Amino acid sequence: MRILVIEDEKELCDSIKEGLILDGYEVDACYNGLDGEEMATVETYDLILLDLTLPDMDGMEILQSVRSQNALVPILILSARVQTEDKVEGLDRGANDYLTKPFDFSELEARIRSLTRRKFVQKSIYLSFDGLELDTKSRRLHYNGEEIFLTKKEMGILEYLLLNQERVVSQEEIIEHVWNNEVNEFSNSIRVHISALRKKLREKMGHDPIVNKVGQGYILK
């Protein structure tokens, strides 16, 4: 899951980013509105955390700009503006949720889980396929009750495949959502991680559920 944080308070922004990385998310962060708008409209994200009070561009403008191009990406406003009219305006302009500062990080985590579940039409925190069950909150994977231990990257790859199990997922998509702009599509890194993931699943399940569609990408079968 790939998240963009647009927040001009550097200490808060860095703290949110570090906490979410520990939770297993891939996170990009920026401290001003202009860069934030560009990243939000050019790159692909599963969720955007957006401050309203930014030095060079108001968060409401960014919200409107993003919504004019992308009606689906969940947007969670983080703001010190506590007036009801500010919350109403943000939600009316297309935000999915509004969290006032200061907030407890555990509440932010819960709001993120809720929004990402809504996006992928998930009614619980669990993703399942052919005996596999992934708890997206605890970041633990089981097969028929037996735990399978994965690295953070392997977990991210499997989670994205589980969220999109009805279609072929391209290598470029996996890089966008699991890596943090750290590799390109020609890097061997993604193939190494997918190979390791497939080996672990094959050892537990007796078969490899990840099918490589040559020239297209990967799908669970």
Among 78, 88, 73, residue whose Cα is nearest residue 53: 78
Quick count: other Cβ atoms within 10 Å of Cβ 98?
21
Q: Where in the chain is the domain with CATH 3.40.50.2300?
A: 2-119
For domain 2-119, give its CATH number from 1.20.1260.10, 3.50.50.60, 3.40.50.2300, 3.90.25.10. 3.40.50.2300
Judged against a pLDDT cut of 60, whether residue 121 lies above it is answered with: no
Q: What is the pLDDT of residue 123?
A: 44
CATH topology of domain 126-220: Arc Repressor Mutant, subunit A (1.10.10)
pLDDT band at 181 (very low <50, low <70, confident <90, very high): low
- pTM of the predicted model as reported, rounded to 2 decimal places: 0.61
User: What mean pLDDT is predicted for residues 63-79?
Assistant: 91
First to last CA, the chain: 21
Q: Where in the chain is the domain with CATH 1.10.10.10?
A: 126-220
pLDDT band at 70 (very low <50, low <70, confident <90, very high): confident
Distance CA 163, CA 168 (A): 11
Q: What is the pLDDT of residues 144-160, one digit of tens each?
A: 989 999 999 999 999 99
Among 192, 174, 194, residue whose Cα is nearest residue 184: 174
pLDDT band at 186 (very low <50, low <70, confident <90, very high): low
Q: What is the pLDDT of residues 17-57, one digit of tens each?
A: 999 998 888 899 999 999 999 999 999 898 999 999 998 99
